[in-house]
Amino acid sequence: MTSGSDIACVDPLRVFGLFGYALPTVAVGAPFELGYASPEDASGAVLTPQPAAGAFVRSTPQGFSAELASTGFVVWQGSEVLDFTNVTARPLALLGFLDPSAVPMAMAQDAGPVRYQATAGVPATLIVLPEASDGTTLAGSMECAFASSDPERLWIAGQGIVAHLAPLADGTVTVTATCMGIRAQVEVDITAAGAPPDAGEPTDGPGDDTSEDAGVDGGEAPDSDGLADGEGG
């Protein structure tokens, strides 16, 4: 991002606190939106960033789509340049996962097994993190397809990079995400709501005394005849 630029990227991952105020690297081919700090000038004219080299940027209903590693954008006011910046684009290579309910948010990259915990009957959300080959998180809007290995245990509804999970029954389910031809999986361990703890030693109920506690004032427990040892008839 050009130092001092007031051009910002409007991206879904900003909702989850990623990228901060910096202009993020976008995924090649993934639409993105740019905004300007002052959307109108004094006369009311709309000020929006435009590509400096339009031949290398596609315009889509979801925004611009960069095909080059670096693309310049300019904010014009008539013939005057008010601001400019460069957008860096890199190919999508990996998919990570983000659990927005964790504090701090749990991010899982491509290394090692990936697992998440869920409770039957409690809705959950899983976010796909588009990444470059070195693990850099990439911005840009993309439609991802989500699949559950066991829909009777875990039902999924996807919207963009967001998967809305409906855990239905306990068990382990594999969730598969496919975005722009890249595929990744995550294991979801579902526990039953209000599942009782492991059975241990039985506990005495209120007022229940064992034979060791049955004697009076610490004395010995009565024999079968109802008398304590040493007592006569």
Evaluated on CA atoms 35, 40, 41, 46, the torsion sign reads: positive
Identify the three-state secondary structure at position 56: helix
> Could you tell me if 186 and 99 lie in one domain?
yes
Q: How many CB atoms lie under 10 A from the CB of residue 74?
A: 14
Q: In the block, which residue shows the tokens 């915990």?
A: 117
Q: Which of 12, 42, 209, 227 is nearest to 129 (CA)?
A: 12
> Could you tell me if 99 and 182 lie in one domain?
yes
> Could you tell me if 53 and 100 lie in one domain?
no
Residue 138 is encoded by which pair of tokens? 């990439």
| Beta-bridge partners for 80 | 77
Q: Which of 173, 189, 169, 167 is nearest to 122 (CA)?
A: 167
Among residues 35, 63, 90, which one ends one of the domains? 90
Output the pLDDT for position 181. 94
Q: Global pTM?
A: 0.70
How far is 28 from 64, CA to CA, in rounded Å? Answer: 11
Output the pLDDT for position 206. 46
- Encoded amino acid at 129, one letter: L
Output the pLDDT for position 214. 40
Output the pLDDT for position 13. 65
- Does 137 map to a domain? yes
- Counting as low any pLDDT under 50, the low residues of the chain are 1-3, 103-105, 108-112, 197-222, 224-228, 230-233
Residue 76 is encoded by which pair of tokens? 């014009």
Residue 159 is encoded by which pair of tokens? 């919207």
Longest dimension (CA), the chain: 121
Range of the structural domain that residue 123 is part of: 94-191
pLDDT digits (tens, 9 = 90+) for 28-43: 999 988 888 777 777 7
By the 8 A CB rule, do 91 and 28 touch?
yes
> Could you tell me if 26 and 77 lie in one domain?
yes
- Does 19 map to a domain? yes
> Could you tell me if 85 and 98 lie in one domain?
no
Output the pLDDT for position 104. 47
Whether the ω angle into residue 104 lies within 30 degrees of 0, i.e. cis, is yes
How far is 122 from 202, CA to CA, in rounded Å? Answer: 31
By the 8 A CB rule, do 41 and 77 touch?
yes
Identify the three-state secondary structure at position 200: coil
How far is 158 from 146, CA to CA, in rounded Å? Answer: 6
- Does 200 map to a domain? no
Identify the three-state secondary structure at position 128: strand
